Structure 1
């Protein structure tokens, strides 16, 4: 039996999770929430993580009802993400590993999402749509790598949603994207927006600029905030489903898995499900417990890496804000 504890703090979510042989024993998480109209900056976010990391760690151990002696390894998010928050959590993970005399495992954040998605849904070899605040990628496994078939060429979909939420002065609690999703349910009039797909890649910055410049004018013309949110979602999700379907056609895949924080969006899941059904394929998705950044996903990836003998020496445990998904050798898969 392999039991690994995972530390995640690459953005505004701080989580510590424990996974033992595919079972999530504990997965507490806290979120740094800023006032409406404001984003979160690296310094204050790191301060939030430093202030809460010990209490979250204690809660995790209490919920799992295990002692440090029963844990085989300590895993942590090595990147990608925001520098200061990553460092603040990595320092704790290194310290805990040395105090408990356990091996250290540095995990790629995206690989953590994929392995958690595969564990929770039971998907075997899916084409993956990874959508979050900092990342937007279409991924498929081949020859011991998670290969990136397409991605955003500018900003991530979650970042686009967050920034448009600021334009509308929407609350950041529980998240800007969630609040946009709820407002979109009231949308009735579609606003044509820039639809930018370049081969297998997508672009969201022009779409965001279009809305930032015209929101006040559109609202005066009779469009509602719900109309704008609905139009934004429908346009961006259509772009992503087009590129995901193309990747599925290329690989012959009959499974599609949505991971990352934006993957909680029910409308995205609905649209992807329609595409999958038309192809005779199956959609796999999870809920907010596992889509949103969490410690258990880092622990699960840590379990797979532990089994493959992939450990990180203290001297190689520095964080990196830019850590490509396809840089990781996936030794635990055939």
Structure 2
């Protein structure tokens, strides 16, 4: 780990504002880095972490233009609320961090425009952050995981990641849709509510499932595929003759068990490859307790352990963007306004992780 304390200003701490808006959640967070070692619980202090979610009606997905409108309407008020909660002003901030990608184009653009506006109005440097790296760095900070294999699972991403030579290397990923997207799309078929999240509601229904419906198991080396599984479980849900055989709860249970078993398999393979006994689960789906349970059993059999957080830090949030952005800022990385264009396809391994050895 790079010794970041030598870069501390005279006041002895740094403050960063983070804006996250890559999908249907708008998050604003303010983080404080104090002087101290990583093991010191007071090194990074969460001063504020607020979030507002755009939810589509049951059975429908959210459209980018509607999400972008939501972000535009909320962002200024949420920033002012965050500053009030954290008891700081714009003058106290060292940098404004924003999600530069990956994500949905219109929501990303709405968020980056807000970040640019605040930067220019108050003369505060910008730091563009990779959404995936934000999840990883916040997970590492909260859990204290040293150098784990990372399972990143969310609505738009499914990746197995390990750190090497100042990059987060992708060892495996989805070949089609992300696990969160798979769960969300099945929730639409069943007309399950999107509040607080379709994946969460599937998790609760799955706890009541008792009968496993055989589904395809599509692991391809270190990668996985989920469209075939989704097609099969959707057909079971729509087939009137089979509705008496498998309840809605059974189908939710079967889908979860199949998808999570695939994720556990490729995670274990990555652990063996890099000779690690730690697993860090990040991303919105990472808050699923059944996934954590299955992964924990696998890790325990290897003499290892898992690290995970709750919905405050697993689900998209502004504090993770502030954390990753501030780490970058402290080693001299900033984003010029002309380079602050967001990208829907910003790969995790494109990021130069200068703050780690």
Q: TM-score range by the shorter chain?
A: over 0.9
Whether 1:19 aligns to 2:19 is no
Q: Secondary structure at the match of 2:47?
A: strand
The equivalent residue for 2:61 is: 39
Q: Secondary structure at the match of 2:229?
A: helix
Map residues 9-88 of structure 1 onto 2, 5 A cutoff: 9-21=21-33, 22-88=44-110
Q: Secondary structure at the match of 2:217?
A: coil
1:220 Cα shift?
2.5
2:148 paired residue among 94, 117, 126: 126
Q: Secondary structure at the match of 2:251?
A: helix
The equivalent residue for 1:323 is: 346
Whether 1:145 aligns to 2:167 is yes
| Contact residue 17 and residue 60 of structure 1 kept, 8 A | yes
1:219 Cα shift?
4.6
* C-alpha separation in 2, matches of 1:61 and 1:243: 42
Map residues 194-205 of structure 1 onto 2, 5 A cutoff: 194-205=216-227
Q: Unpaired segments of 5 or more residues in structure 2?
A: 1-12, 34-43
| Contact residue 24 and residue 62 of structure 2 kept, 8 A | yes
* C-alpha separation in 1, matches of 2:88 and 2:74: 21
Count of residues in Structure 1 that have an aligned counterpart in Structure 2:
334
* C-alpha separation in 1, matches of 2:106 and 2:287: 26
Q: Secondary structure at the match of 1:242?
A: helix
Whether 1:267 aligns to 2:290 is yes
The equivalent residue for 1:241 is: 264
Q: Deviations over 1:268-320 (max 9, x none)?
A: 00000001111111110000000000000000001110112111000100000
Q: Secondary structure at the match of 2:300?
A: helix
* C-alpha separation in 2, matches of 1:279 and 1:78: 37
Whether 1:111 aligns to 2:133 is yes
The equivalent residue for 2:157 is: 135
* C-alpha separation in 2, matches of 1:184 and 1:93: 40
* C-alpha separation in 1, matches of 2:283 and 2:20: 13
Q: Deviations over 1:121-160 (max 9, x none)?
A: 0111110000000000000000110000000000000000
Q: Secondary structure at the match of 1:140?
A: strand
TM-score normalised according to structure 1 size: 0.99
| Contact residue 156 and residue 178 of structure 2 kept, 8 A | yes
Q: Unpaired segments of 5 or more residues in structure 1?
A: none
* C-alpha separation in 1, matches of 2:154 and 2:238: 27
* C-alpha separation in 2, matches of 1:190 and 1:223: 8
TM-score normalised according to structure 2 size: 0.93
* C-alpha separation in 2, matches of 1:206 and 1:226: 20
Q: Secondary structure at the match of 1:161?
A: helix
1:223 Cα shift?
1.1
* C-alpha separation in 1, matches of 2:77 and 2:206: 36
1:212 Cα shift?
1.8
| Contact residue 219 and residue 225 of structure 1 kept, 8 A | no
Q: Any runs of at least 4 consecutive aligned residues in structure 1 with deviations exceeding 6 A, and if so which?
A: none
